[in-house]
Structure 1
Amino acid sequence: MQRLGTGIGWRPEIADAVERMPGVDWVEVVAENVCAVHLPGSLRRLRERGVTVVPHGVSLGLGGAERPDAGRLRALAERAEALGAPLVTEHIAFVRAGGPLTASGPLEAGHLLPVPRTRDSLEVLCENIRIAQDALPVPLAVENIAALLSWPGEEMTEGQFLYELADRTGVRLLIDVANLHTNHVNQGEDPAAALDALPLEAIAYVHVAGGVERDGVWHDSHAHPVPRPVLDLLTELASRISPPGVLLERDDNFPDPAELEGELSAVRDAVRRGAAVGAGHGGVAHRAVCAPRGSAGRQEDAASGGGRPGARQPGPDTRGARERLALGQTALLSALVAGTPAPEGFDRVRLGVQARALAGKRAATVAKVAPELPVVLGSGYRATFLAYAREHPMRGGYRRDAMEFVEWLLDEGLPRDAACRRELRAWWRERSGPAPRRPGPAARAARAARRVLLRR
């Protein structure tokens, strides 16, 4: 397994600082934010200096009930090849639901949501990961996520779920110690127990990030300094195994370069402390490590330079598991983004926290991809967008969401200021051609009826 060293998440806002930052061995880039044929100049310069770049996907939804989309897999493979990446990473999460398996409209979360740790979910996830492994030119690693809520009736702990996943597929693991801390605060899960259960030899690298606690709930914000408990978890992990790589994530509220360099130094110190503790116990080999049963062939493929596993035996028929998983995930996501009743067994308070977090992230992300909209709408942007979001779940990406938000505004005659509406109409025309048609009498009547029902 390649030794990566200490790295930082590459973001456009800190690209110049990352290029100048000493001691950066590698960077990770959000795969969906780069184009394989037009890589940012900063990434090209880093590659020319020999800095490793790893694409980190956020939209495959490997934990979803549907099979991975071939187009998304193809795009991820193209980015891996363009960057000369030694591996690619994604998440153990679902990001969309609905569709053919439930005979309902598609819903997008715009966020990584937890999968239930059940046998059905594991069967589907294993098959989805095998599909992804076959489509990618380099090895795949998958990340444990932070969760604000848990599924009722779970059959495994996080550590058991991750171990069996790696054992059955040979997939590598991206362990986020900040997410272990999040799940400890939010759900009382023991991070040390999760570390005890992990197949250490499957770890590709480690994420470290900051967050913030509000009203007893830890939010994995990636916009705050790394707290001491997360660094202590990194030390605990490093006392058991020397991690091939450790990466600092920061996605927002970027501090000055000196502060980022200080956080990287704290990450290095935490790893060194863990190594010293491990050496005091006779080295990291003080715990017996065995390769996952299903991984030998895939490790040989990776060692020879390829990411594709060899010939496979047919897996189990997952049709029934996919249908059951689809129903559960659609019910949950619909409750979070469309206001339908909470599924049985879920904590309603936590559902409310997650729903508000999703809506807030959606408003903030649309403001980033379409920064003109907050300028035109001024201080009323957020409240107006949240009013729109309550009646209009996201059904595509954020750029499509921005377009549909503006269409809604114009259809509703908002904002009341005519000059602002003209700006919005011009913005819409620039991006989609002809002006949106005014709704006909039937559409206006349906919208009015829906408003009456929502007020009841």
Structure 2
Amino acid sequence: MTELPAGGPAPFSGFGLGLRPDHYAEVLRRDAVADFFEVISENFMVDGGRPLNLLDRVRERYPLALHGVSMSLGGKSLDPDYLRRLKALSDRVRPLWLSDHLCWTGSGGINSHDLLPLPLTQEALERVAANIHHAQEVLEQPLLIENPSSYITYPEDSLTEWQFLTQLCARTGCGLLLDVNNIYVSAHNHGFDARAYLDGIPFDRVRQIHLAGHTVGDGLLIDTHDQPVPEGVWSLYAETVKRCDTVAVMIERDDDIPPLDDLLAELAVARRLAVPELA
């Protein structure tokens, strides 16, 4: 059995961005744009060609984190080919860490391309923990697990999401990627106190924070990642970062991508809130 570090990947302190095609050329042209970049793993899980060439060039200049969207940790079992290709990418990039979501994404070989919510039950906890153990064995490193945004709950739920995540950390040695926007969205949608969520999280396991925007729907907040970080999320982030020791903070934007300098201005806000002496 592979011996994995206790408590998740090694801590890293810095402020980064999600690497998106709109900014590839500028990131490679400019110096010291950010402390690190995060890339969507599935976009680079290929055998060769331009995507990997680009990633190699960025990796020469910046630390990278790999963020997955379809491992489907809540599914019945993990796809061995997916894990094989992710392991090959990880071996090539040697990322700060690998992360994915507390969710399932499909069944029977069908990928829904959505991050589907899990029932928060002991049965689901056992299944997710087993899948995390298996993934970490294959990948030879601990994972970071991200809290999702959600819009429904299940009648059989017996745990809060923060209790579920806390038990996953204890059972598997994984770390956490804490998405502050997702906490804010889910708290609004389900009527719980976002600060109670923070009170229940083991912050010694938090290695990364995501910041993003959302859209106001008909009675719900929708995690669209196509808006600037709103004031409510900034306020919750300020509470969150007080509880962290060494952590990586990232602005996540997936649609309606603005100029790079706009995102860097948001990242400067994140830095000032985390390090008040810079204000």
What is aligned with 2:114?
A: 111
The answer to whether the aligner puts 1:154 opposite 2:157 as a matched pair is yes
**Change in CA separation of 1:234 and 1:176 when aligned onto 2, cut-off 3 Å:** same
**C-alpha distance in structure 2 between counterparts of 1:185 and 1:136, whole Å:** 36
Q: Which structure would you say has the larger Rg? A: 1
- In terms of fraction of residues, the more strand-rich structure is 2
**C-alpha distance in structure 1 between counterparts of 2:26 and 2:224, whole Å:** 21
Residue identity matched to 1:15: Y
Match of 1:228 among 219, 225, 231: 231
Match of 1:170 among 166, 169, 173: 173
What is aligned with 1:428?
A: none
- Runs of 4+ in structure 1 off by over 4 angstroms are none
SS at match of 1:59: coil
**C-alpha distance in structure 1 between counterparts of 2:215 and 2:122, whole Å:** 33
The answer to whether the aligner puts 1:12 opposite 2:21 as a matched pair is yes
Decide whether the 8 Å contact of 1:174 with 1:206 is kept in 2.
Answer: yes
**C-alpha distance in structure 1 between counterparts of 2:274 and 2:191, whole Å:** 25
The answer to whether the aligner puts 1:90 opposite 2:127 as a matched pair is no
The answer to whether the aligner puts 1:56 opposite 2:67 as a matched pair is yes
**C-alpha distance in structure 1 between counterparts of 2:48 and 2:97, whole Å:** 19
CA deviation digits over 1:230-272, x for unaligned, max 9? 1111111111123420111111101122211111111112222
The answer to whether the aligner puts 1:76 opposite 2:76 as a matched pair is no
Decide whether the 8 Å contact of 2:27 with 2:33 is kept in 1.
Answer: no
Q: Offset at 1:47? A: 1.6
Q: Offset at 1:119? A: 0.5
Q: Offset at 1:41? A: 4.2
Q: Offset at 1:9? A: 0.4
The answer to whether the aligner puts 1:37 opposite 2:48 as a matched pair is yes
**C-alpha distance in structure 2 between counterparts of 1:12 and 1:130, whole Å:** 33
**C-alpha distance in structure 1 between counterparts of 2:143 and 2:156, whole Å:** 29
> What are the residue-to-residue correspondences of 1:219-368 with 2, within 5 Å?
219-273=222-276
**C-alpha distance in structure 1 between counterparts of 2:167 and 2:140, whole Å:** 24
Decide whether the 8 Å contact of 1:63 with 1:121 is kept in 2.
Answer: yes
Residue identity matched to 2:27: V
* Identity in percent: 35
Decide whether the 8 Å contact of 2:11 with 2:246 is kept in 1.
Answer: no
Q: Offset at 1:57? A: 1.0
**C-alpha distance in structure 2 between counterparts of 1:18 and 1:267, whole Å:** 20
Decide whether the 8 Å contact of 2:102 with 2:148 is kept in 1.
Answer: yes
**C-alpha distance in structure 1 between counterparts of 2:141 and 2:110, whole Å:** 30
Residue identity matched to 1:183: S
Match of 2:144 among 141, 154, 166: 141
Q: Offset at 1:224? A: 0.7
**C-alpha distance in structure 2 between counterparts of 1:171 and 1:37, whole Å:** 30
Q: Offset at 1:40? A: 4.2
**Change in CA separation of 1:131 and 1:242 when aligned onto 2, cut-off 3 Å:** same
**Structure 2 residues not aligned, in runs of 5+:** 1-9
Match of 1:131 among 127, 130, 134: 134
**Structure 1 residues not aligned, in runs of 5+:** 100-105, 277-456
**C-alpha distance in structure 2 between counterparts of 1:208 and 1:232, whole Å:** 11
**C-alpha distance in structure 2 between counterparts of 1:270 and 1:22, whole Å:** 21
SS at match of 1:246: strand
**C-alpha distance in structure 2 between counterparts of 1:136 and 1:252, whole Å:** 30
Decide whether the 8 Å contact of 1:37 with 1:82 is kept in 2.
Answer: no
**Change in CA separation of 1:230 and 1:17 when aligned onto 2, cut-off 3 Å:** farther
Residue identity matched to 1:9: G
CA deviation digits over 1:201-235, x for unaligned, max 9? 11121111111112221111111101111111111
The answer to whether the aligner puts 1:122 opposite 2:132 as a matched pair is no
The answer to whether the aligner puts 1:2 opposite 2:11 as a matched pair is yes
| TM-score under structure 2 length normalisation | 0.90
Residue identity matched to 1:71: D
What is aligned with 1:409?
A: none
Q: Offset at 1:179? A: 0.4
> What are the residue-to-residue correspondences of 1:189-200 with 2, within 5 Å?
189-200=192-203
Of structures 1 and 2, the one with the larger relative CO (CA 8 A, separation 6+) is 2
SS at match of 1:205: strand
Q: Offset at 1:108? A: 3.3
SS at match of 1:29: strand
Decide whether the 8 Å contact of 1:81 with 1:137 is kept in 2.
Answer: no
CA RMSD of aligned residues (A): 1.8
> What are the residue-to-residue correspondences of 1:201-220 with 2, within 5 Å?
201-220=204-223
**C-alpha distance in structure 2 between counterparts of 1:59 and 1:268, whole Å:** 30
What is aligned with 2:191?
A: 188
Residue identity matched to 1:264: L
